[in-house]
Amino acid sequence: MIDNFNILLPEIFLTLSILTVLMIGVFTKNSFNLVSKLSLIIILLSIFILLNNETSSIKVFSESFIRNAFTTFIKILILISSFFVLNSSQQFIKDNKIDKFEYPIIILLSILGMFFMVSSNDLIIFYLGLELQSLSLYILAAIDRDNLRSTESGIKYFILSALSSGLLLYGCSLLYGFTGSTNFDIIAQELNSENTGAVFAMVFILVGLAFKISVVPFHMWTPDVYEGSPTSVTSFFAVAPKVAGLAVLIRFMQTPFENILIEWQTIIIFLAVASMILGAVAAIGQKNIKRLMAYSSIGHMGYALAGVATGNISGYSSSIFYICIYVVMNIGAFACIYLMRVDNKYKEGINDLSGISKKHPLLAFSFLIILFSLAGIPPLGGFFAKFYIFMSVIENEMYTLAIIGLLSTVISAFYYLKIIKIIYFDETINKFDENRNISITSTIFISCVILVTFFLYPALLNDLVNSIFI
Amino acid sequence: MNFPILSSVIFLPLLGSFFILLSRSQNNNQGAIYVSLFTSLANLVLSLFLWYVFDNAETEFQFVEEKNWISGFIKFKLGVDGISILFIVLTALITPICIISCINSIKTRIKEFLILILILETFMIGVFCSLDLVVFYIFFEAGLIPMFLIIGVWGGPKRVYSAFKFFLFTLLGSVLMLVAIIAIYWITGTTDVVQIYEIKIPKEYQYLLWLAFFSSFAVKMPMWPVHTWLPDAHVEAPTAGSVILAAILLKMAGYGFLRFSIPMFPVASEYFIPLIYSLSVIAIIYTSLIALMQDDMKKLIAYSSVAHMGFVTLGIFTFTQQGMEGSIFQMLSHGVISAALFLCVGVVYDRVHSRLISSYGGLANYLPKYSLVFIIFVLGGLGLPGTSGFLGEFLILVGVFKKSYIVAMLASLGVILGAAYMLWLAKRVIFGETHNEIIKTIKDLNLSEGTILTILAIIMIFFGFYPQPLIDTISTSVNHLINNYQIDLIYHLKVNNL
């Protein structure tokens, strides 16, 4: 029994430290600084614990909780991305007076939810993890409670997300009804394509998951929530929940639904194609950079799904590869957005970037790298991410998917180029405040260095990602 | 030889651009200019040395470097043969010329400009050296980034439109090539070009793969009807940008046909000859006629480039020794002549700030030296015997005559049209009355402009009279290419009959 707890050590550690930090937050005044520092330390310690943990595959607590290399990798990725997001958003949070001590704690809670979600081997654990994550995210979206747009986005997110959770729960109950178990392994044994009810259940569950990772046609909340929430929250939305959602999708394809892969694949291909196209086309007319990032992330999730759609290990690992690079690019992009500050007011319009290359050459150059990488132009990291996706897509002879995907790359290149045009070719209208915040600049620096030097040794990440599926 | 000479040629400019980044922006960026000039000249010397030690009789790839890159499936493989080595020399020659020219023409952010030029040089040489499809694709595409910025930041009034058009056209063509590259990997199990030559891709795949590569090269070449980005990009780009675009970037596509399309897909190449011929002939005649009607000097030269590239594709797809040698020679000579013509336009543009032909006239009276070089290059551009322009066109026409009389006749019409628009350009710019008062006040060529134009003129005339060194280098590889091509065709024919 005590061994079983060992397996859960990262989760237990996280839970206990959340409770401790919550107490500290309650009993000290103006404790945001202290709590957020502690939270960063907790995140680092959790990474440390995960790294030290064994990664052999094991199922505990009546096989309802699984730990293997895949879940460990995903958890570390979630923690690293949350660390950078939280670290670089400190100043933004203070400037916007949302520096409540609950903020980092809620982020930790949502990470805890993601942990359980990723590690679940049972529908109930999965649903609980998902809800813990979602509830934390609703609060985060509305954290700036005196701001109309923030509260609006929180409510919008809550209503739509609750609906999707309902659908998902309905799917879970159907699945239980048809297979008689909530355990993934047993479900996998019981299911086959002739089981029409199971296909229904699968569709409902897929809708719920698609909503969480915001792929078309369940993306409607994304632009509004991205735009309305404070930028620090948006940047969190853009990375960690996406990683967790994609990982869960892969877990579902690998275990409970492995026997009805064909039905499942058709829907995923549709979702991928629709997201790639909509992400590319709808972003063109955007004037708000956060809204644009929302559409961009819809498009990127489409590419990641294209890898999942192949339904085999090489496809899954290319998706995880993609999401790793996506996280690096998005963290960098949002760190750049934090620097768009004129007279202590944060700007969000794309036109506010006009001509900044003259006044802020370094910021402009970093943005240039990140945008070209998002567009997938070689030799930057984003290209390799797309390259691996299309490698596995074409390996499975899904040529149409590959061609549609690459053509939408060209369309999406247009709006990334538009931002670059505004930064480099247009006249200067704004001068951003001098910002020597080391945590933001170092985040931008790290993400740019990763993207630029990625071509030197792409095998590193590739081998790592391949190894987690064994 | 163990010294990685090709990697040095590729990455030396990149190293130089790092040093420029570190240099201080004082004294009109003198430091940056010297560093970039030094790096590019060193690279020129290195590439000339490469040509010197290159063995003309050898048919295999030379100076091959191979490193594991993406474990197990993609190798970073470099190597040159007689087809590619001269393009490396051309690139290394044009880059210092661009750097010298931009001292006069670029007024703002010169440091960034030089960095971009050097990065671009790295990518361009990389394209000509790479022997792996993925490595080639990466270099091929990466060149878009610096060129996009060069046009967009330092370009003329319609620069944004042109830069976007350039970028999106090229990208659209290339993504299909990426699909084809990945498909080739799954068909043959490798992206190493030399191995793919051996493996022989099955016939049924060849047609679609050929078309995918064609879509990329046709845009880059540019062939009619996807040439429309070129005039816009040329007109709006700064002088150095136009020079690089015309002299080197356009050559990547011709090189791509020779290196990839023909040896990898011989059956499809044979099959699509009518397509190539018709597009090339249309390009030659149609764009020559358009060039006649231009009132913008840069646009005129841009359209003439499209026509000249039409000759190149025609020559490549004759699959004869003369035609292919002529095409390579034509590409090299066009690289020098079009670069020189754009530089000439740049010289007067810096002084008068107009590219319109109508704002010039009678330059011969006021700028004698300039008029002399301009006339020399115009004559080179129309292919006067004794200039390198003549030889390329002549060899191509010889090759085409073997294949088809009608095509050769139509293409010859292009030569006449070429003479017409070029001479008319010279007549309107150099001779006649001077209406524009500014022209009477401007100065003749200064030292740096005079030097680079003289060097280019000497190269053009020298190789016009004595093309042997170039032909020697080219011919073995071309011969090898044609032999393999015919062997492959017979092989596929046999496989089909079995």
d(CA B471, CA B326): 9
Report whether pLDDT(B412) > 70. yes
Beta bridge partners of B65: B78
pLDDT, tens digit, 9 for 90 and up, residues B165-215 = 899 988 888 888 988 998 888 888 888 888 888 888 888 888 889 999 999
CB B177 within 8 Å of CB B44: no
User: Is B64 an interface residue toward A (CB < 8 Å)?
Assistant: no
- Interface membership of B496 toward A (CB under 8 Å): no
Q: How far is B274 from chain A (nearest CA, A)?
A: 27
Return the structure tokens found at A302: 């489409």
Contact indicator for B174, B140 with CB cutoff of 8 Å:
yes
- pTM, whole model, 2 decimals? 0.91
Neighbours of A143 (CB within 10 A): 22
pLDDT classification of B386: cutoffs 50, 70, 90: confident
Instruction: Give the nearest chain B residue to A400 (CA atoms).
Output: B179
What confidence score (pLDDT) does residue B2 get?
66
- With a cut of 70, say whether residue B71 has pLDDT above it: no
- pLDDT tens for each residue of B311-344: 999 999 988 888 899 999 999 999 999 999 999 8
Task: Using pLDDT thresholds of 50, 70 and 90, give the confidence band for residue B157.
Answer: confident
On chain B, the residues whose CB falls within 8 A of the CB of A409 are 171, 175
> Closest residue of B to A426, CA-based?
B153
Does residue B366 or residue A238 have the better pLDDT?
A238
Give the pLDDT confidence of B389-398 residue by residue, as tens digits: 888 888 999 9
> In 3D, which of A207, A81, A209, A80 has the Cα closest to residue A134?
A209
Name chain A contacts of B164, Cβ cutoff 8 Å.
414, 417, 421
Mean pLDDT of all residues in A186-214: 85
Please state, in angstroms and rounded to a whole number, the distance separating the CA atoms of residues A372 and A357: 16
Q: What pLDDT shows up at residue B72?
A: 63
Kindly state the average pLDDT of the residues A261-265.
83
pLDDT, tens digit (0-9, with 9 covering 90-100), for A28-52: 888 888 999 999 999 999 999 998 8
Whether the pLDDT of residue B28 is over 70: the answer is no
Q: Give the per-residue pLDDT at A358.
A: 83
Query: Which amino acid does the sequence have at A352?
Result: D
Residue A207 has pLDDT above 70, yes or no: yes
Q: How far is the C-alpha of A322 from the C-alpha of A246, rounded, in Å?
A: 11
Mean pLDDT score, A68-84: 92
CA distance B129 to B142: 15
Is A410's CB within 8 Å of B182's CB? Answer: no
Contact yes or no for A413 and B164 at CB 8 A = no
% of chain B exceeding 70 in pLDDT: 98
- Would you place residue A96 in the very low, low, confident or very high pLDDT band (cuts 50, 70, 90)? confident
Place A298 in a pLDDT band, splitting at 50, 70 and 90. very high
A408 → chain B, closest CA residue: B172
Task: Say whether pLDDT at B291 is over 80.
Answer: yes
Do B38 and B16 form a contact (C-beta atoms < 8 A)? yes
| Lookup: tokens for A361 | 């050459």
- Structure confidence by residue, pLDDT tens digits, A130-146: 999 999 999 999 888 88
- A399/B179 touch (CB, cutoff 8 Å), yes or no: yes
**What is the rounded end-to-end Cα distance, in angstroms, of chain A?**
27
* End-to-end Cα separation, chain B, in angstroms: 45
- Interface pTM (ipTM) of the complex? 0.88
